[in-house]
Structure 1
Amino acid sequence: MSRRIRVPFVLLLLVVAAVAPVGGAAATGSSDAGTVDVAGTADLDGTADADVTPDTAAGIATNHGGTIVRTTTFSLTPGEPGSVDATMRFDLPDGVPELTVGPFPDGVTVVDEGGFDREGDRYVRRDHGRAALTLRFDLPSEQLSTADVGIDTGDWAYVRVPYVPTEWSYYGDAPAFRGDAAVDGEGAVQGEWAYLGATETTTRSAGDLTVRYVRAAGDPDAPSPDAVFAGWNWLATRLGSGGRDRVTVFALPTPDAMEWRRSPGLASDEDGAAYVFSRAPATGTEPAWFHEFVHLLQGPEPSEGMEWYPEASATYYARLAALNLGASEYGTFREASTVEEPRNVRFTRRSSWRSPTDYRQGALALGAIDATVGAASDGDRRLADAHRRLRDDDRLTYDSFRDAAVAAGNGSAGAEADRVVDAPARHEFVDDGLAYADHAPDRDLDGDGLDLATEREHGTNPFLADTDGDGLDDPAELDRGSDPLAATRDADGNDDGEGSADEPDPKTVDSDGDGLSDVRERELGTDRKRADTDHDGLADGEEVEGVTDPLDPDTDGDDLGDGEERESGTDPLAEDTDGDGLPDGHEVHVGTDPADPDTDGDGVPDGEQHREESESDGEDVPTWSPRGVGEMVGDLVEDALELPRMVADVVRLLT
């Protein structure tokens, strides 16, 4: 799970009527600028809208720029579980004569004002230099949720710097703002997250990243460094670094009373920090250690239409890493990935889905695109290659995601993305082990004696020693000439692996029942496990026996699918069946008959009427259809349903 909050940057430039101490007007800044994550980190690089020139006798402006540095230092309170002390120190450059902090959130109390004047629920510093507030954090001692600032058990604590509004006035160039965290005593920090207590730290490279694994000293539940770094290296090598150099993963001790299974971890991608409770296993279908790490490798923030991607990609790649590293088996991978009753979801329309659909069906959507990329490149490239291309973008949009998928595969990857992301779809698991196998031709993932290159050549599942489950491992079937892709019957009526009178006919096996043998499907490039490879409503065998292309849902390119052409009686090989100048797909959309050149029988061909917008006898067919109106009304209804959520988001940010 990842949390990220964007707060709009508003910098007001105010001209002060009174004479300032240096003889000039002052501008104001705010820590609402830039990006603020759940830990309250302010990443402020905003500049004023215009320079302010001091009103001096000589009329010369002095540069009083620099950086406002806020350092929050945490310390344990031994014997007092549920509380942590902290000092919040501000170092102000010369050009900042005044700074205001507050109000502080619930659970954080100012116990010493240090160089600040209290004004209601705010604290004001009217001088440059250094000043510090002393704080007391009241924290839960046995639970930690995504809404909590932290946890303190008495022996150790994990805490983040909360968001605290901060404003200042300045002269000359606008100062930058930086927030740091520190620990008084033993512990470790990353960004504005801090662990307080004795630790053991392992630092290694994972891909291009430097990764710190911080765990409580002597915690028997924490996985070994080897167990977690294997997955982290696999992920960082394939997905890239997300544009960062260093990340930290904290293993938090797990109190006996804590219910950690529902939310075993959390990542702050802005800070490059994540925590996982130490009792969470490093094996299984989707280890939290892998899921949260993927969040640290995600680059640009998703824009509207791509809100599903962070959790979908964390789920999918965590499962993929576990499968390829042997931490899970193909059967459990398939079971975890299968959605019994999938919803009809269009991911680019946020109102059509809610969590956990992004975790479950979103992962299936990525799996479908990944399978298409792999098939288009003969396994040389994967969707992970597209993920790496996205890290340099300012925002993650559907167009940039689609373009990256096309670059990794080809146009078929873009078409698949349109089908499973930008159109309503009930996502299904792609049951093909080759679609999920790492690109390592020499590896034998299932230990059956066949390397990946050989498994790919024969279409067998690289994660199953016995692909068809007939009791005979794939190499044995290949040696005796039986088909490893189907549990074919012998002359004695048994599966291949039973009895002794094997008389297989591998050329006749049709795994998907589409009328084409698996051997023929491999020759054609169609999917041997999908009866309708191109999803046009016609079985592959029917298309091969007929005239249409089983790999192209619209053989003649008239925007009317091959299956729809059969239903409407049009020619699937002719863009304009009736020769009236209008493509068949256009005629179906506007309501004219694609099989009749003069739908209304007025003597004027439909295409000519359309071009000239003629209404010669008043019998012209309208250029709209009830279906088009229904789609328009549906969009309006969905947008109306979206409005309350948008308003609620705005109110939440403002309050």
Structure 2
Amino acid sequence: MGRHVSLAIRLFLVACIAGSPLGAGLLTGVVAGGASTPAVADGSTFRTDPGSGAAVAGPGRATIPRTAAPGSTPGVAIAVERTASTTLSVTVTYEVPPSVRGLRVVIGDLPVEGTRGFDRCGSNRLCWDGSTAEPTLALRYDLRTRTRSYAGIVNDSMVFAPAPRIYTVWRTDDERRTAPLFAKGEYATYEVASERTVVANATLFHGPHAEYERTTGSTDFRLIVPDGTRLGPSRERLFDTLADAETALDVGGRNREVIAVALADTPGETKLGLAGATVGNAFWARAGASLSNTHSVWLHEYVHTRQRFADRSRAMEWFVEASAEYYAARLSHDLGLVNDLEYEWELKSRRVSASDDVLADPTTWERPNVPYRKGALVLAALDAEIRNRTEGDHSLEDVFRRLNRADGTLTYESFVTSVVAVSADPAMEQWLDRYVKSDATPRYDPYDSRERLPTAPRMDEVAALVPTSPLGFGVTTIGLALATMFTLSVLSTIGRTLQWLVEAIFDGLGWLADRLSGRRR
């Protein structure tokens, strides 16, 4: 009888423990912690209105609003023809209004193929002779002289090259004006008479292509897709992202027109294996490049179109690529293309790979990616520093905007002045000296007024971290094997400990049951 009473008391005590709040928490904690809701794939929106991203046609299309006074400004029509693998023939026809008394064209060292209504008036000039109101000149453009930089591309099917440096000088009774030939807004009218040609402010594209357009706010986005090229992101999503970036990036320097050229791959003529490059208000990018990562080449190149500090000292060369790289990551996060964890992981991981090179001294750079890696990290840390010191009222965008508005050359001193003014803290000069003018590397501690926790990674995000190279796969495999062995060892130890604990509990319960049943005194 005593034995049965003892067993009954043991079972009753175990049931009491399991039914207590402590026991319930232990039993249901695994379920609650494991039943997570998957995050939304991305925060982008898709526009379905019929006019979004519509294809546009052909030659002669007025691409941007004109700001020039038509009564005192000539009009321009340009035709481009590819006459050889590395040669373009550029034909320019002016429409000269009666108020213009004189007009000449500075052609540099470009060979002249023919003229009508122009005479030679110097080694590098053609002067209008007044015999016709529509004088014409034809020039030969050797692409090999202008595509040696990373920005120029020439292959069998297309050309993306810096535009030749040609200037128009004209005078009226009241004024004398000079404008680059490819600055479309400086002329009364501007027509491109070649179906295969796209003209940007400082760039020429020539080749068979499809063209799509989206106007957002004050910017006309034009997407050029060469024949046979397949986009990675959809046109709608790409246009949405660029339009959202145009609004979100509050640094000034907006363009009335931005031209994006999607290339199927990176031709061999480019240097450094780059995924894109920008000249003026036009850029090319790999067509298959993703939008949903912190290294979005589309956003990186778009940020370049918003930079207005073409003249800069050697000590500020790093800022061009560093600011484009940082804000590409920042925009990816702010537009919902990546989550908090991906964004912070990317920036914090840069400290591990950051070099000991000095940003302000390019001669110390062992690799050309120093501005992309260390430079972007320094700007991320600087942005957080400014936000922290101003309680979130100001950021690096305010500095960027001041630099865009400033006249003259961007120098390290003007950069420091802008940072100190925005942060209202003279101590920021010492901060910049430490991390820009020395080899020190800052820690990145993001400013977040909401103090939120990072969101959990999705399965597709985790899958994206799996290495694809043989070396990376081998290292990862070894690491996983070691981690598994360590985990099993820890679990084994925990199991033995739990077994001892359970046995001790039951022994204690047995002793208590025996005392209560009268078997133990």
Interval containing the TM-score (normalised by the shorter chain): 0.5 to 0.7
Would the aligned equivalents of 1:149 and 1:161 in 2 still touch at CA under 8 Å?
no
Question: 2:331 aligned with 1:321, yes or no?
Answer: yes
Match of 2:262 among 252, 256, 273: 252
For residues 508-547 of structure 1, what are the structure 2 equivalents within 5 Å? none
- Higher alpha-carbon Rg: 2
| Structure 1 residue 300: Cα displacement | 4.2
CA distance in 1, matches of 2:451, 2:150: 50
CA distance in 2, matches of 1:147, 1:115: 38
Would the aligned equivalents of 2:91 and 2:139 in 1 still touch at CA under 8 Å?
yes
- Aligned to 2:298, the other structure's residue is in SS state helix
Q: Which residue of 1 aligns with 2:283?
A: 274
Q: Give the RMSD, CA atoms, in angstroms.
A: 4.3
- Aligned to 1:211, the other structure's residue is in SS state strand
CA distance in 2, matches of 1:120, 1:377: 58
| Structure 1 residue 237: Cα displacement | 3.3
* C-alpha spacing 1:338/1:384, structure 2 compared with 1 (3 Å): farther
Q: Which residue of 1 aligns with 2:137?
A: 133
Q: Which residue of 2 aligns with 1:104?
A: 109
Q: Which residue of 2 aligns with 1:339?
A: 353
Q: Which residue of 2 aligns with 1:55?
A: none
- Provide Cα deviations, 1:340-385, integer angstroms capped at 9, x if missing partner: 4312x262x6766685433333222212211212323455543223
* C-alpha spacing 1:217/1:494, structure 2 compared with 1 (3 Å): same
Match of 1:213 among 212, 223, 231: 223
CA distance in 1, matches of 2:380, 2:495: 38
- Provide Cα deviations, 1:93-128, integer angstroms capped at 9, x if missing partner: 6554463543434xxx43323333457964533523
For residues 194-205 of structure 1, what are the structure 2 equivalents within 5 Å? 194-196=204-206, 197-205=208-216
| Structure 1 residue 138: Cα displacement | 4.6
Q: Which residue of 1 aligns with 2:378?
A: 365
TM-score of the pair, normalised by structure 2: 0.59
Would the aligned equivalents of 1:247 and 1:296 in 2 still touch at CA under 8 Å?
no
- Aligned to 1:306, the other structure's residue is in SS state helix
Match of 1:375 among 371, 378, 388: 388
Give the AA of the match of 2:107: G
CA distance in 1, matches of 2:266, 2:320: 31
* C-alpha spacing 1:277/1:104, structure 2 compared with 1 (3 Å): farther
CA distance in 1, matches of 2:323, 2:384: 14
Q: Which residue of 2 aligns with 1:153?
A: 156
CA distance in 2, matches of 1:119, 1:147: 35
Would the aligned equivalents of 1:110 and 1:136 in 2 still touch at CA under 8 Å?
yes
The answer to which structure, 1 or 2, has the higher relative contact order (CA under 8 A, 6+ apart) is 2
Would the aligned equivalents of 2:296 and 2:328 in 1 still touch at CA under 8 Å?
yes
CA distance in 2, matches of 1:363, 1:225: 29
Question: 2:74 aligned with 1:74, yes or no?
Answer: no
CA distance in 2, matches of 1:165, 1:212: 25
CA distance in 1, matches of 2:122, 2:372: 44
Query: Could you list the runs of 5+ residues in structure 2 that have no partner in the other structure?
Result: 1-67, 185-191, 459-488, 499-521
- Provide Cα deviations, 1:194-227, integer angstroms capped at 9, x if missing partner: 4343313131427x64433332356214532344
- Provide Cα deviations, 1:452-483, integer angstroms capped at 9, x if missing partner: x252xxxx556779xxxxxxxxxxxxxxxxxx
- Provide Cα deviations, 1:158-179, integer angstroms capped at 9, x if missing partner: 3443014767788763234352
Query: Could you list the runs of 5+ residues in structure 1 that have no partner in the other structure?
Result: 1-44, 46-64, 442-452, 466-492, 503-655
CA distance in 2, matches of 1:229, 1:500: 59
Higher normalized helix content (fraction of residues)? 2
Give the AA of the match of 1:289: W
CA distance in 1, matches of 2:167, 2:375: 36
* C-alpha spacing 1:346/1:295, structure 2 compared with 1 (3 Å): closer
Give the AA of the match of 2:109: F
- Provide Cα deviations, 1:403-424, integer angstroms capped at 9, x if missing partner: 5434554427724643445642
Match of 2:438 among 424, 431, 440: 424
Q: Which residue of 2 aligns with 1:265?
A: 276
Give the AA of the match of 2:212: T
- Aligned to 1:86, the other structure's residue is in SS state strand
TM-score of the pair, normalised by structure 1: 0.48
Give the AA of the match of 2:353: V
Question: 2:398 aligned with 1:385, yes or no?
Answer: yes
Would the aligned equivalents of 1:101 and 1:123 in 2 still touch at CA under 8 Å?
yes
| Structure 1 residue 293: Cα displacement | 0.7
| Structure 1 residue 315: Cα displacement | 1.5
Q: Which residue of 2 aligns with 1:174?
A: 176
For residues 50-129 of structure 1, what are the structure 2 equivalents within 5 Å? 66-67=72-73, 71-75=77-81, 81-92=85-96, 96-97=101-102, 99=104, 101-105=106-110, 109-117=111-119, 122=124, 124-128=126-130, 129=133
Would the aligned equivalents of 2:420 and 2:428 in 1 still touch at CA under 8 Å?
yes
- Aligned to 2:353, the other structure's residue is in SS state coil
| Structure 1 residue 295: Cα displacement | 1.1
- Provide Cα deviations, 1:29-75, integer angstroms capped at 9, x if missing partner: xxxxxxxxxxxxxxxx9xxxxxxxxxxxxxxxxxxx94466553324
CA distance in 2, matches of 1:256, 1:245: 26
* C-alpha spacing 1:415/1:230, structure 2 compared with 1 (3 Å): farther
Q: Which residue of 2 aligns with 1:649?
A: none
- Provide Cα deviations, 1:290-319, integer angstroms capped at 9, x if missing partner: 111111112344543433322221121112
CA distance in 2, matches of 1:235, 1:199: 24
* C-alpha spacing 1:219/1:352, structure 2 compared with 1 (3 Å): closer
Give the AA of the match of 1:115: G
- Provide Cα deviations, 1:579-626, integer angstroms capped at 9, x if missing partner: xxxxxxxxxxxxxxxxxxxxxxxxxxxxxxxxxxxxxxxxxxxxxxxx
| Structure 1 residue 289: Cα displacement | 1.2
Would the aligned equivalents of 2:166 and 2:181 in 1 still touch at CA under 8 Å?
no
Would the aligned equivalents of 1:83 and 1:138 in 2 still touch at CA under 8 Å?
yes
CA distance in 1, matches of 2:241, 2:235: 10
Q: Which residue of 1 aligns with 2:194?
A: 184
Would the aligned equivalents of 1:89 and 1:131 in 2 still touch at CA under 8 Å?
yes
- Aligned to 2:214, the other structure's residue is in SS state strand
Match of 1:292 among 301, 304, 307: 301
- Aligned to 1:133, the other structure's residue is in SS state strand
CA distance in 1, matches of 2:219, 2:394: 22
CA distance in 1, matches of 2:256, 2:365: 34
CA distance in 2, matches of 1:335, 1:259: 32
Would the aligned equivalents of 1:99 and 1:169 in 2 still touch at CA under 8 Å?
no
CA distance in 1, matches of 2:78, 2:104: 16
CA distance in 2, matches of 1:204, 1:66: 29
Would the aligned equivalents of 1:285 and 1:336 in 2 still touch at CA under 8 Å?
no
**More divergent stretch after superposition (364-373 vs 91-100):** 91-100
Give the AA of the match of 2:370: T
Taking only the aligned residue pairs, the percentage that are identical comes to 23
Would the aligned equivalents of 1:337 and 1:364 in 2 still touch at CA under 8 Å?
yes
CA distance in 2, matches of 1:279, 1:339: 26
Give the AA of the match of 2:303: V
- Aligned to 2:428, the other structure's residue is in SS state helix
